[in-house]
Each structure stands twice: as structure tokens, then as C-alpha cells.
Amino acid sequence: MGDSRFAELAFRRLPLACLAAAAVAGGMLGPRWSARAAPLPWLVALAVVGLAHGATDLAVSKRCCPIRAIRRTWAAYAAAMAAVVLAYGIAPVTTIVSFVLLSAWHFGHAATEVGRTDRDEAPWQPLCSAMARGGIMLGVPLAGWPEATSCVATTLLRLTGHEALAAAHPFPSAAVRGFGLVLVAVAAVGIAVECITAGRVADNDRRSARALTESAVIASLGLTTDPLFSVGMSFLVWHAWRQMEPLAEILADGRPASWPELVRAVIRIHVAALPLLMPAWLAVGGAWWLASPTHSARDLAILSIGAYLVVTPAHELLDGMLVARSSTRPTASCPKRSVSCSA
């Protein structure tokens, strides 16, 4: 099996099939099933692939940045996280809303970058693709499940010391649904533009079909399952897992072309992630132990989202710095492409 065929199977078809199966299960078994299973993808993400793919940031920067630039890069990374913590302490609701918008962009941008081969596109074309994918991934759960989504955000406030604000119900269901519908509308525009412009490039029918298939599966998952479950599955299976491919190129000396190579690459990526992964485990676990009155799996899952809220802007900043650097100085160890490792 060639490299491209293996990548198509391991990083697109199987993840998409997994999401489709979860959507079918949600439709057949009803909302109670997915509500009970909602913490599961987030707990798996804490252990493997999910949190780990973001914790490779230090290792990636070591491979991609000159020695003289590493300290400045890490200082900017730490400053970005500190700024988010400060912003959350001052204006938690605004910070959560901003995090949703940033996550929609990040999920969509990363999905667009993985496997993209046409580098002659106009700059707005990948932007539309990112809007389409990210808007669907988060917009559909918000629009379809506003009360459950509001509950997740309110629980995060309560677990992070904002009990009085949480008691005031700062995320009305109508506002959550409206926010989700706006994201879906933006996604619809992005999908339409992507399908129309695909006619101007090679293999246009296949590209349009891929875009529509991916969007339909992710939208179905968001409609049929609890939002904590659907977003967790999309994050773990469609976002974080697919980032194993570009990370393997940087941290495991090449993209895997077989299952044994993939296993070895994933192990090497997780080893490289340990300097950030272990402190993250301690922070999330400690917060859960101290803040959760029942020590429930759901509380642990929601607190892990709080961790992603803190680190995602720093990851995006690092990604931008690496892409800007590789645009002028691409190397074999850090190719000219997005290698963002965000949540």
C-alpha cells in the first residue's frame, strides 16, 4: 500500500467511518446514550492523542526553530497562556465565547491543511474551507443542543471558581442557539464557495464530494448526539488523530506508510510530548480533585476543556510563528505547512 493510500485509509476513511458509526448509534439509541458516554472521548483524549498532540509544541519548536529563537518562542508561548488565564479571571464569559470562535477556526484550518496538496490556491480558498469545517463541527451542536451546551459552559464556570456567575445562567439557550446558527450559516457559505471554486482545479468532482461527505458526517454527529460527546469525538478522532500524520513527519522522521510504522510514530510523538504532557496531567487532575465535589468523569472532561481553553491561543501563536518561519526557510525537518498542535 503506497504512502498516499495508507494515509487516506488511516487518517481520513477510518476516522470518518468512526464518526459516522457514532452518529448512527446516536440516532438509533437516543440522546441518553450519548449523554452517558459524553465524557469518554475527552477522557481518552487526556490519555492519548488528544492532549498529547498539543503537548508536542516544545518538541516541534526545537526541531523547527533556530537555537537563538527558541527562548523568544517559548517566552511568547508562556505569555499567551498567562494572558488567557488573566482574561478568564476578568471576563470568563467573553473568554469562553472567544475560545469557541478560535476553536472553530482552528479545527477547520487544521482539517483543511491535513492532506492538502494544491498549494496554488488563492489565499481565500483554504479560508473558506476552514470556515466550512470548523463552523459545522461546533455550530451544529450549539444550534441543535443549546441547553446541553449551556450546561457544559456553566459547569466549567462553576468548577473554575465562578460559582456566582454560573448561578446567574450567563449562557441563555436562545443566545447559544443563535450563535450556533451563525456558525452554521458561515459554514454553509464556506462549503458553497469551496464546491464552486473546486470546479476550477484538477479533480474537482472528488474534492467537492469529499467536502460534502465530511460536512454531512460531522453535522449528523452533531445533530444526533449530546454536544459534549459530538465535539469530543470530533476533536479526538477527526482533529487530533489526523494531526498525528504531520507530527510524524517532524518528530518521527517521516509519515507512516504502514500500521507498524504508525504505531512507532505515535509512540515517539507521545514520548516527545511528555515534558508538557505530564504537567498538564497534574494540573487537570489536581483541579478535578479539588474542584469537583463528586469527582465525576463529566467534571473531569469539562475541566480538560478548560485546559484547552488556556493553551489553544498559545498553540495557534506558535503555529503562526512556525509557518511564517518555514515560508522563508523551509527545511527537511520542518516542512512548509501547518503543523499546529492545538486542541
pLDDT of residue 200: 55
Instruction: Please say whether the beta carbons of 93 and 170 come within 8 A.
Output: yes
Angle subtended by helix axes 259-291 and 57-64, to nearest 10: 130
pLDDT of residue 111: 73
* Calpha distance 150→165 (Å, rounded): 13
pLDDT of residue 65: 78
In-domain check, residue 134: yes
* Calpha distance 262→266 (Å, rounded): 6
pLDDT of residue 113: 65
In-domain check, residue 34: yes
- Using a 10 angstrom Cβ sphere, with 0-12 exposed, 13-18 middle and 19 or more buried, the burial of residue 36 is middle
Could you tell me which of 58, 53, 2, 39 has the C-alpha nearest to residue 238?
53
* Calpha distance 265→267 (Å, rounded): 5
Q: Mention every residue, 6+ apart, whose C-beta is less than 8 A from residue 198.
A: 204, 205, 207, 208, 211
How many C-beta atoms surround the C-beta of residue 203 within 10 A? Answer: 12
Q: How many residues does the chain have?
A: 343
Could you tell me which of 158, 146, 271, 130 has the C-alpha nearest to residue 214?
130
In-domain check, residue 333: no
pLDDT of residue 210: 80
In-domain check, residue 148: yes
Q: Low-confidence residues of the chain, pLDDT below 50?
A: 1, 117, 328-332, 335-343
In-domain check, residue 72: yes
pLDDT of residue 331: 46
DSSP symbols for 141-192: HHHH-HHHHHHHHHHHHHHTT-HHHHHT--S-HHHHHHHHHHHHHHHHHHHH
How many C-beta atoms surround the C-beta of residue 111 within 10 A? Answer: 24
* Calpha distance 301→195 (Å, rounded): 36
- Using a 10 angstrom Cβ sphere, with 0-12 exposed, 13-18 middle and 19 or more buried, the burial of residue 169 is exposed
* Calpha distance 191→44 (Å, rounded): 31
* Calpha distance 133→110 (Å, rounded): 9
Domain interval for residue 162: 3-328
In-domain check, residue 340: no
Domain count, the chain: 1
In-domain check, residue 336: no
In-domain check, residue 316: yes
